[in-house]
Amino acid sequence: MPTIASAADTLTIYSGRAERLIKPVLDAFTAKTGIHIELLSSGTTELVNRMKAEGDRSPADLFITNDAGSLELARTAGLFRPLNMREVERAIPPQFRAADNSWIGLSGRFWIVVYNTTLVKPDQIKSLVDLADPMWKDKIAIPNAGSEYLQAGVSVIRASLGDDHTKKFLEGLRDNAGTQVYQKSSQIVDAVAKGQVAMGIVNHYYVYRHLATQPAAPLAVVMPDQQEGGMGAIMNVAGIGILKHTPRVENAKLLVEFLVAQAGQKMFADLDKEYPLHPEVKADSALLERKSFRAALVPLTKLAELREPTLLLIEQVGMR
């Protein structure tokens, strides 16, 4: 196990995750180890391109982001250092990390259908594909075409159902959403809560975040595609990788070890009502119990190779 470093040591993290959702857990790490953190937050794609351009001169020691596809792209670009850490292998199941442990998942999020309980009955939606039914024309809200969440979700649907079915689904989604296409997922939840639309597609935590401040809002969630033969709920992870060139490997490993341990997992996931990946750590009690639903079986490591064809399909359909 690496030794605790002196208080003068600093780690630089490039983060595609909002600062408010990561700083408290990083502050806890600093309090425990004395290792200071410099955080640079920006868009994930921008940060990956920046690390590529900086090469060995990059000041970044670690990279954290909210999308397994982006983590895998960084790995295939040779940006990460493979890790041989027993602590990681004990804490995080193999389906949530790269085969060589060059990136490690830290928390999980699921694509769900949020609906207004005064406008939709729970049994009306079983699958994401149901949202393409013409009966929902002008009644749904969706993320814009540039959303990493949309791109990852469509990639999983392509891998599960094939391109023809996915194209038909996207065309129906496009037609039913009309102008209700949003830059931010929180705007989708707001629109559903106000009854401007009947339902929308978002990552689960946006709904629970809204309900935490407005518990009387007429909102409920469907964890889709749980029927027999269904593909399962679409999952993505937030994760971390250590940069290949960093001279501060031991300190960086200390941070990874902190984040995959039970206390770190609980704190990291609860900050945004996500699901811990450590099997012995329970999610926030407001969330659906993880054992109550299935996830899609598409490996997270495939999201990178699926991305470019997915972007072409989204463009071909004319998603906004």
Q: What is the DSSP string of 131-158?
A: GGSGGGTT-EEEE-TT-HHHHHHHHHHH
pLDDT band at 7 (very low <50, low <70, confident <90, very high): very low
Position 262, amino acid: Q
Distance CA 41, CA 185 (A): 19
Residue 16 near residue 65, CB atoms below 8 Å = yes
Lookup: tokens for 99: 């085969």
Predicted local distance difference test score (pLDDT) of residue 320? 82
Distance CA 71, CA 304 (A): 8
Lookup: tokens for 228: 């027999």
Count the neighbouring beta carbons within 10 Å of the beta carbon of residue 32: 13
Which of 226, 235, 207, 202 lies closest to 292, judged by CA?
226
**224-235, pLDDT tens digit by residue?**
999 999 999 999
Q: What is the mean pLDDT of the chain?
A: 95
pTM greater than the 0.75 cutoff = yes
Average pLDDT over every residue of 155-159: 98
pLDDT band at 8 (very low <50, low <70, confident <90, very high): very low
Which of 104, 187, 183, 191 lies closest to 150, judged by CA?
183
pLDDT band at 4 (very low <50, low <70, confident <90, very high): low
Please tell me the number of Cα atoms within 13 Å of 251 on its side-chain side.
24
DSSP code of residue 178: T
Residues 77-109 as b/e (b if ≥16 CB within 10 A, e otherwise) read eebbbebebeebeebbeeebbbeebbbbbbbbb
Predicted local distance difference test score (pLDDT) of residue 1? 47
Q: Which domains does the chain have, with CATH numbers?
A: 10-108+235-290 (3.40.190.10), 109-234+303-317 (3.40.190.10)
The H-or-E segment that residue 181 falls in is: strand 181-182
- Is residue 14 predicted with pLDDT exceeding 90? yes
DSSP code of residue 273: T
**103-125, pLDDT tens digit by residue?**
999 999 999 999 999 999 989 99
Give percent of the chain with pLDDT exceeding 70: 98
Average pLDDT over every residue of 265-294: 95
Average pLDDT over every residue of 69-88: 96
**237-257, pLDDT tens digit by residue?**
999 999 999 999 999 999 999
